[in-house]
Amino acid sequence: MGWHSNREFFVSWEELHRATRELAHRQLPAEQYKGVIAVSRGGLVPAAIIARELNLRTVDCVAVSSYAHDQQKDELALLKDVSATEDGEGFLVVDDLVDTGNTLKFLRKRLPKAKFITVYAKPAGIELVDDYVADLEQETWIHFPWDMHLHYVEPLAGQES
């Protein structure tokens, strides 16, 4: 597992690779799928790993953005639609995580026959995802490796006061 406190969960490249391979393994047999749809941008790296493991060469992506529709509610808009399929039948839609579930709720309307999978899931979004590898508390923020940088940390003994 990645290093985590109650409120933050830091995922290394190795851990992301391991967890995503586990997710791929759970989707076997690969022959039942036509391809993979990444939810850009967080789903791009996991989707590439899954496409490699399942030997799927058709890889499409969908891009969504949230915008303030009125003072209270954020709504989602499709920035880039898929072209590989009409309704998602035979496709795996891959994202890095499901949090509130808003993104997947929106995409399920667009791709009702696809299978939706994420590496991580928080409780509010679990019903929206068909498979995932690890669940985390709703309050925990996940830091993905592409958002991080290795840096020096003082030894514990040097931090005593």
Catalytic residue list: 95-96, 99
| CA angle 136–29–61, rounded 5-degree value | 60
Q: Which is nearer to Mg ion, 28 or 74 (CB)?
A: 74
Q: Please tell me whether 141 is known to bind a ligand.
A: yes
Helices (H), 9-96: 13-25, 44-53
Q: Which residue's Cβ has the minimum distance to Mg ion?
A: 42
Residues 142-161 that bind ligand HPA (CB under 6 A): 142
Residues that bind ligand PRP (CB under 6 A): 39, 41-42, 95-103, 125
Q: What are phi and psi of 116, to 5 degrees?
A: -105, 120
| Phi-psi label, residue 70: left if phi above 0, alpha if psi -120 to 50, beta otherwise | beta
Structure tokens at 145: 């490796």
State the Cα–Cα distance between residues 142 and 144, nearest whole angstrom.
Answer: 6
Q: Please tell me whether 42 is known to bind a ligand.
A: yes
Query: Residue 142: which of Mg ion, ligand PRP, ligand HPA, none does it interact with, CB under 5 to 8 A by kind?
Result: ligand HPA
Q: Which is nearer to ligand HPA, 108 or 143 (CB)?
A: 143
Residues that bind Mg ion (CB under 5 A): 42
Binding-site member from 3, 13, 141, 146 for ligand HPA (CB under 6 A): 141
- Give every CB contact of residue 107 below 8 A, 6+ residues apart in sequence: 39, 62, 64, 93, 114, 116
Q: Which is nearer to Mg ion, 42 or 46 (CB)?
A: 42
Contacts with ligand HPA, residue ranges (CB under 6 A): 97, 99, 141-142
